[in-house]
Amino acid sequence: MIYELRNYELMAGKAPAVIERFGQHSIHYFAQHGIQNIGYWTPTFGEYSNRWIYLLGYEDMADRERAWAELANDPVRQKVMEEASQEGPQTHHVTNLFLLPTEYSPDPLDPSSESGSAAICELRIYDIVPGKAQPLHERFANVTIPLFEKHGIRNIGYWTPVIGGNSNQLWYMLGYKSLAHREEAFASFAADPKWQNAAKATTEKHGTVTEKIISQILRPAEFSPVR
């Protein structure tokens, strides 16, 4: 399985039209061409608030190329895009990133991996210190993920970039019932002795394992499968 994270920088005032187009049209012709709709989000704070972010799934890159070739010739999509363009450009810039799931990542669409619905999602990006990926991944697999679950944090997915990004990164997404729940759950997680001992052991044995951490708070669209 390979995932594609697409990030649209929107023109001012165009977010409602873009979200409506995806909800009424895009998710349907994506599915018709065998593309998995994983999730659709809008960032809630800061410089990224005028963005539209969504995650698609494919069997592999060949499957992705097949699906998008079909989409390019889909008359329904062509009509939708033509109608949208009549109101002027909706996006200022589009980027995409291809991600492979880690060995310990849950399936984002597997209900058995959920711990409640996610009214708020958090995308976290770790820049890993060169040579320190293995201890970081081992800690996530053996300690962090079970503790997130214990403290009511939903593990949605864990990925590493393969095309269009930095391969020495970890991207992952968590889910919460609300912003207040996020604050409460993370405080509880951080105070857990098992987490504190694991973090200390990693540092003592391997030193610092991350150089930079980026966090984006995302709100799922009403039609987002992951929510």
H, E, C per residue of 144-202 = HHHHHHHCCCEEEEEEEEEECCCCCEEEEEEEECCHHHHHHHHHHHHCCHHHHHHHHHH
| CATH number for the domain formed by residue range(s) 101-220 | 3.30.70.100
Helix (H, G, I), strand (E, B) or coil at 123: strand
Burial of 105 from C-beta contacts in 10 A (0-12 / 13-18 / 19+): buried
> Higher-confidence residue: 197 or 113?
197
pLDDT single digits (tens) 2-54 = 999 999 999 888 899 999 999 999 999 999 999 999 999 999 876 566 899 99
| CATH number for the domain formed by residue range(s) 2-99 | 3.30.70.100
**Is the fold of 2-99 the same as that of 101-220?**
yes
In whole angstroms, what is the distance from residue 144 CA to residue 24 CA?
38
Over 60: is that where the pLDDT of 114 sits?
A: no
pLDDT single digits (tens) 185-204 = 999 999 999 999 999 999 99
Q: Give the confidence band of 113 by pLDDT, cuts at 50, 70, 90.
A: low
Q: Say which range, 53-67, 110-124, 206-220, has the weakest mean pLDDT.
A: 110-124
Over 80: is that where the pLDDT of 223 sits?
A: yes
**Strands (DSSP E) along the chain, which ranges?**
2-10, 36-43, 51-58, 91-101, 120-128, 154-163, 169-176, 210-220
- The residue extents of the domains of the chain are 2-99, 101-220
* Residue-level pLDDT at 47: 58
* Residue-level pLDDT at 88: 85
Query: What element of type H or E holds 16?
Result: helix 15-21
Q: What is the model's pTM?
A: 0.92
* Residue-level pLDDT at 60: 97
